[in-house]
């Protein structure tokens, strides 16, 4: 072959064909992308339907987000509709498969099955509380840790706490009356003022003189961010500006002050001071030769425990207290009986601080508190996570790593146990042979099982003491609005209008 022979190019690509090739390549990638996307969406639906099986619930889940829109603005009516759909029902939110349990039987089974399920609170809880907080312990380590903390709620300890609670309540009630006197005609919502009182009470009970007014105010002002982060489903990443990010920053502030308080308490007890708060009781307890639990707690560990108590009590006690005021205002006959009991026990000495012995002589008041929290339970449910496949019935097994949520509300409104379940009737607790007292398993206000609320006596005592003191210090009139009986769910239940009350000093004959 001669050297002049022309060779044809291997690829003959003209300038005009390049856009066509690029278009074909783009179309191919686009086709592949949509094919993969549709396959993933189909897989999502198949997995959801496989996990759901025969349970009531949406036949198909909204792609990716599921019921996220509903979880952003939860309503009690929406929860009731879900609970009414079946003893067990299913939903999905952001591919989190959730089984809702509505009956007392299944609620108690979840709460009392630590080998299958553990409390996971809400998705943001570990980020807010810190993953190394004791509340996330399980099994024997949780039991052992809890045994030591139980000693912070003995009768001796509660006797110290109630004196502090009484002092703080009276201080805040005087502030409430002073504020009401500026405009005695206009009712004002008590939601935030009651929350502030509860925060002040908790911090003084926990830390006593070891926390400054500045620190208490700082924690109180920022704690609302923590409350707002406790939605059942929240944006999962703690990016600046999100609710979880703000809650974490608020926790850091609280932890700083609580660590400092723990350090000061240790110094005070080492110097021979008498216990004045929970921290002091704890430090003194650890030095007791007969104490058999863990003896060494760093300032950080103590601060995390106190923060978990604050986390557990603030919103729940505020809800219980606010509805206590609302129920008494809406039932003047019940309030009159509370005052009659106060007169009998206090014998006209209304300045005398409340004691445990006095409180024990007030069965009607205790019935009022118990009934108020039954009608409007602060916590309607607590999310759990199935740590492994959980055979909750003979025909259904909750898949491992699913969320399983027991409802407390239905147990507390079971007409077979509480006739006229929505009616506020404290008397139902005074009959030892009555349905309410004969069915204690239905009273799930504080949960059940190994993770039952550790401070239930403390919380009930505080609400009772506050309502008792309020009943003798002032009168309150409820300004009933269109939203008074509507429920707003902000971690716990609150009246949607914030419970608008008109306060006046009580004039006794």
Write out the binding residues for heme.
453
Strands 403-406 and 96-101: parallel
> β-strands 384-386, 474-478: how paired?
unpaired
CA 360 and chain centroid, separation = 28
Closest CA to 308 of 162, 134, 147: 134
Closest CA to 321 of 80, 68, 501, 136: 501
Residue 21 near residue 55 (C-beta atoms within 8 A)? no
- CB-CB contact of 119 with 384 (8 Å): yes
Distance CA 233, CA 212 (A): 35
**Based on the number of CB atoms within 10 Å of its own CB, is 115 exposed (0-12), middle (13-18) or buried (19 or more)?**
exposed
Which strands sit side by side in the sheet containing 474-478, from one edge to the other?
188-189, 500-505, 474-478
Provide the total of helices (H) and of strands (E) in the chain, helices listed first.
18, 10
Whether the CB-CB separation of 141 and 147 falls below 8 Å is answered with no
Q: 25-59 as b/e, with b when 16 or more CB fall inside 10 Å?
A: eeeeeeeeeeeeeeeeeeebeeebeebbeebebee
Torsion of CA 456, 458, 463, 466, to 10 degrees: 180
The residues near 184 (Cβ < 8 Å, ≥ 6 apart) are 502, 504
Distance CA 247, CA 131 (A): 14
- Three-state SS at 119: strand
Tell me how far apart the alpha carbons of residues 20 and 4 are, in angstroms, rounded to a whole number. Answer: 34
Residue list, annotated binding site: 453
| DSSP-derived 3-state class of residue 454 | coil
Per the rule left: phi > 0, alpha: psi between -120 and 50, beta: everything else, 442 is alpha
């Amino acid at each position: 072959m001669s050297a002049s022979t022309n060779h044809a190019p291997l690829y003959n690509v003209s300038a005009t064909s390049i856009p066509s090739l690029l278009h074909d390549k783009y179309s191919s990638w686009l086709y592949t992308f949509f094919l993969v996307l549709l396959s993933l969406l189909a897989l999502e639906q198949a997995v959801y339907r496989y996990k759901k099986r025969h349970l009531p619930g949406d036949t198909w889940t909204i792609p990716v987000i599921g019921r996220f829109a509903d979880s952003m603005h939860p309503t009690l009516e929406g929860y009731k509709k879900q609970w009414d759909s079946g003893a067990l029902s299913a939903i999905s939110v952001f591919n989190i498969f959730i089984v809702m349990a509505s009956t007392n039987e299944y609620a108690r089974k979840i709460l009392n099955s630590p080998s299958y399920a553990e409390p996971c609170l809400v998705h943001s809880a570990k980020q807010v509380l810190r993953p190394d907080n004791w509340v996330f312990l399980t099994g024997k380590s949780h039991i052992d840790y809890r045994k030591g903390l139980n000693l912070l709620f003995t009768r001796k300890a509660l006797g110290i706490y109630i004196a502090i609670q009484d002092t703080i309540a009276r201080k805040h009630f005087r502030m409430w009356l002073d504020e009401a006197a500026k405009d005695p005609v206009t009712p004002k919502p008590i939601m935030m003022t009651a929350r502030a009182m509860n925060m002040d009470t908790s911090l003084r009970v926990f830390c006593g003189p070891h926390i400054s007014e500045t620190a208490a105010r700082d924690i109180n002002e920022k704690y609302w961010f923590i409350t707002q982060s406790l939605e059942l489903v929240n944006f999962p990443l703690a990016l600046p500006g999100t609710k979880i990010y703000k809650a974490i920053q608020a926790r850091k502030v609280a932890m700083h002050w609580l660590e400092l308080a723990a350090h000061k308490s240790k110094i005070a007890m080492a110097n021979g001071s008498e216990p004045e708060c929970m921290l002091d009781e704890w430090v003194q307890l650890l030095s007791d030769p007969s104490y058999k639990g863990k003896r060494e707690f760093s300032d950080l560990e103590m601060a995390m425990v106190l923060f978990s108590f604050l986390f557990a009590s603030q919103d729940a006690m505020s809800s219980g207290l606010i509805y206590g005021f609302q129920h008494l205002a809406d039932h003047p006959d019940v309030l009159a009986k509370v005052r009659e009991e106060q007169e009998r026990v206090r014998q006209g000495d209304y300045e005398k601080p409340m004691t445990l012995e006095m409180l024990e002589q007030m069965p009607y008041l205790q019935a009022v508190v118990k009934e108020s929290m039954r009608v409007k339970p602060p916590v309607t449910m607590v999310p759990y996570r199935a740590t492994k496949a959980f055979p909750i019935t003979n025909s259904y097994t909750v898949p491992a790593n699913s969320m399983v949520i027991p409802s407390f509300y239905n147990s507390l409104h079971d007409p077979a146990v509480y006739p006229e379940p929505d009616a506020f009737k404290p008397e139902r607790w005074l009959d030892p042979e009555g349905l309410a007292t004969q069915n204690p398993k239905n009273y799930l206000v504080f949960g059940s099982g190994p993770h039952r609320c550790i401070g239930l006596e403390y919380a009930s005592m505080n609400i009772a003491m506050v309502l008792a003191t309020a009943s003798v210090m002032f009168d309150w009139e409820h300004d009933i609005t269109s939203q008074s009986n509507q429920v707003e769910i902000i971690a716990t239940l609150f009246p949607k209008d914030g419970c608008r009350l008109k306060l006046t000093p009580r004039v006794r004959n």
